[in-house]
Amino acid sequence: MADTIENIVFGLLILLLLFFAAMWINDSKKYDKMLTENDSLKAHNSELLKENNYLCDAIIKQDSLLEIVDFERLIMSVIEVESRGNPNAEYQGCNGLMQIKNGTFEPVQNVADGSKMVAHLIAKSVNDADTNTTAEEVLHRTLTAYNRGWHGANKYKAKTGTFTSDYSKKVLEKYYKFKDK
């Protein structure tokens, strides 16, 4: 009987050892999975940090450009070229002071919508600019994109080698005249 109890105890010990070994293997798989997930999270966080730094750089560049540029005069210049100050202007499906496609004729809303669009295009232009790009080049790209659309401006540059269009020249000519007054 003592042999039987010893065999049972020995069998239980073996079962306990197998149970703990299985738990250890399962835990090590979980641990390996956690390490893999952690590495994946580290890579993701690294990408987010790079993206955040890029965004911060773009905001700083945009803010410094807006300090150089008199935004109010820029909008006044766009209005002068687009509609000559006529809130009822309409041309090729564009309406109002800033000639917004399918825009409103209500002057305050039209200028607010157009100003947001110009600010957005300045931000995009700054984001795409390299360190040698001047503020005036950013403005030419912004204005050409306002006139032709973002992809239209890129096509224009591919064709001509520059973002400087007749439209952007007209607007900046008005801008400098307004600025001198």
User: Within 13 Å, how many C-alpha atoms sit on residue 166's CB side?
Assistant: 1
pTM (two decimals): 0.65
Q: State the CATH architecture for 69-181.
A: Orthogonal Bundle (1.10)
Cβ proximity of 99 and 82 under 8 Å: yes
pLDDT along the chain (181 residues), means of 10: 60 59 58 59 57 54 64 91 94 93 90 90 86 86 96 94 95 87 64
Residue 81: per-residue pLDDT: 96
Q: What is the pLDDT of residue 32?
A: 59
* Domain layout of the chain by residue ranges: 1-68, 69-181
DSSP states of 37-104 as a string? HHHHHHHHHHHHHHHHHHHHHHHHHHHHHHHHS-HHHHHHHHHHHHHTT-TT-EETTEETTTTEET--
